[in-house]
Amino acid sequence: SKTCCLDSISYFVCLIKHAITAGACAQIMQWAIVDQNNTVMSNTSIKNMLIRGTAKPENRTYPNREWGYGTLDVFGAFQNLRL
């Protein structure tokens, strides 16, 4: 995102944030395609799954500029599949 490159510390945090999100996507693809739970999983499906599973404190509105859709919660994304 555009706000990630303000200074070297923000840039480093941005790199970590993207790496963690990529790992979450890899876990979902492993579950969906390799383990054959959803062999037609698309990038849009992964994005929606991650958004639905985010942790959202109640005192904020989402999406917003600081937190986007909330904090990444891969366990929460899988929990939403069980509902």
pLDDT averages per 10-residue partition of the chain, 83 residues = 64 88 95 93 94 90 88 92 72
- Global confidence as pTM: 0.78
DSSP 3-state of 22: helix
User: 55 pairs with which residues across the strands?
Assistant: 71
* pLDDT at 10 (0 to 100): 79
CA atoms within 13 A on the CB side of 50: 22
> Residue 66: its pLDDT value, please?
84
Angle of CA points 48, 52, 54, to nearest 5°:
120
- Residue 54's pLDDT is 93
User: How many residues in total does the chain contain?
Assistant: 83
